[in-house]
Structure 1
Amino acid sequence: MTVTQRRGRKIMMSPGEVSAFLTTQRTCRVATVSADGAPHVSALWFLWDGSALWLYSVVRSRRWADLRRDPRVAIVIDTGEEYDSLRGVELSGTVEFVGEIPRTGELCAELDSVETLFARKNFGLDAMPHDGRHAWARLRPEKIVSWDFRKLGEL
């Protein structure tokens, strides 16, 4: 994972802080490019595995259609209500599709640990409940930008 950031170095998170933040958060906002070139943003649960962000999306969605046509994506995960408590991470790059589409649970070594962790984190289950409506996309970020306004008090 490469963390490069020019502006805001004083409030950027360290790689360890980024990983810890992404591991504990549940919801991201995924920005895609629609067929007409317009941006589209939607919320989605995700999993961070330490080097990649995994998206489990309904395949009959505008988001999925956008990604299949143009796999470039920007994703934001953030939290905080007051200005001095805002923190977040923006990841961007190109997604790859992993496993069958839609996912029905066929053996896929790349998804074994991902599905176990996702099921525990989001459903409180030890195994992924496959509904034949979702599929996996993996983002190995090309760029990561972070901010933690709580650090402003330290300056």
Structure 2
Amino acid sequence: MLVIENDVNTFLRQTLVGVLGTAEADGSPHLAPIWYNWEDDSAYMFTSRKSRKWRNIHARPYASLCVDTRDAPYSAVILSGPVKEVDKTVFEVVSSMSYRYYGEQKGEIFAERYRENSTDIVAFKLTADHLVKNLSM
């Protein structure tokens, strides 16, 4: 198991948008911006089961997540590893993220749409087996 250092944990707990990289059937990359929540040394995310990223993950359950800052001093962490669907409800995953990204009031309104566990939405996690970091914190 990969040991995640404190500086990486601190960086990934910031409210940043990640870019999820998955592999297409022909091996070419597919990249998509995505919210994530960092807990228990894994990045938790959600998406539609009909999305290209989920279809890619379902077929090839390995991905990369790049989380970076867009202003100087630039910092980045790139995680790569297996992806699997989680046992948590979609609402649990979405609500923790929506509060983080929108604040409590708007986050609650956003998350409420996911209270009924829609079969169209999937919650998943990436657990890194490889990590690259460049932190200027």
Category of TM-score, reference length = shorter chain = 0.7 to 0.9
User: TM-score scaled by structure 2?
Assistant: 0.79
Equivalences for residues 54-133 of structure 1 within 5 A: 54-82=44-72, 85-99=73-87, 108=88, 114-123=93-102, 124-125=107-108, 129-130=113-114, 132=118, 133=120
- 1:128: how far off? 5.1
- Contact between 2:68 and 2:77, CA under 8 Å: does it hold in 1? yes
User: TM-score scaled by structure 1?
Assistant: 0.71
Equivalences for residues 20-31 of structure 1 within 5 A: 20-31=10-21
CA RMSD of aligned residues (A): 2.5
Rounded to whole Å, the distance in 2 between the matches of 1:148 and 1:67 is 28
1:49/1:67 CA distance change after superposition, 3 Å: same
Rounded to whole Å, the distance in 2 between the matches of 1:128 and 1:137 is 19
Between structure 1 and structure 2, the one with the greater Rg is 1
Which sections of structure 2, spanning at least 5 residues, go unmatched?
Answer: none
Rounded to whole Å, the distance in 1 between the matches of 2:48 and 2:90 is 17
- 1:25: how far off? 2.7
Which sections of structure 1, spanning at least 5 residues, go unmatched?
Answer: 4-13, 100-107, 151-155
Give the secondary-structure state (helix, strand or coil) at the position aligned to 2:13: helix
